[in-house]
Amino acid sequence: MRPFPAPGGKKQMSTECGNEPIWARNGRELFYRNGDKMMVTAVETQGVFAASQPKQLFEGHYETSYNAFERKNG
C-alpha cells in the first residue's frame, strides 16, 4: 500500500498472499482474501499510517476473480 496522490513509501499489508483487497466504507478497515480465508486489518490513515495485525473473519470456498473490478453482464 502507498499514499495517493501524495508521495510516500510502500507499506506491506499482508505477510502471506493477499488478494482482491477492498476498503470498508468508513475507510478504517481493509478486507482481503488469503486463499479461502477472508481477512481484515484495521487501518489508521490520519497522521502516521498504521495497520493492525490481520485477523481471519471466516473461511469458505470462493470463485477466483482475475479482476476484482470487472463487471459481469446479466
| 53 assigned to some structural domain | yes
pLDDT at 65: 61
Domain containing 53 equals 19-58
* Backbone angle region of 8, left / alpha / beta, with phi > 0 → left and psi within -120 to 50 → alpha: left
Cα 61 to Cα 37: distance, rounded to the nearest angstrom:
8
> CB-based burial of residue 51 (10 Å sphere; 0-12 exposed, 13-18 middle, 19+ buried)?
middle
pLDDT at residue number 72: 52
In a domain, 11, yes or no: no
Domain membership of residue 1 (yes or no) is no
Total domain count, the chain = 1
Residue 24 lies inside a defined structural domain of this protein: yes
What averages of pLDDT result for each successive group of 10 residues across the chain (74 residues)? 69 72 91 91 82 90 63 50
Query: What is the helix, strand, coil percentage profile of the chain, to 5?
Result: 0, 35, 65
Q: What is the pLDDT of residue 74?
A: 46
25 falls within a domain: yes
48, part of any domain? yes
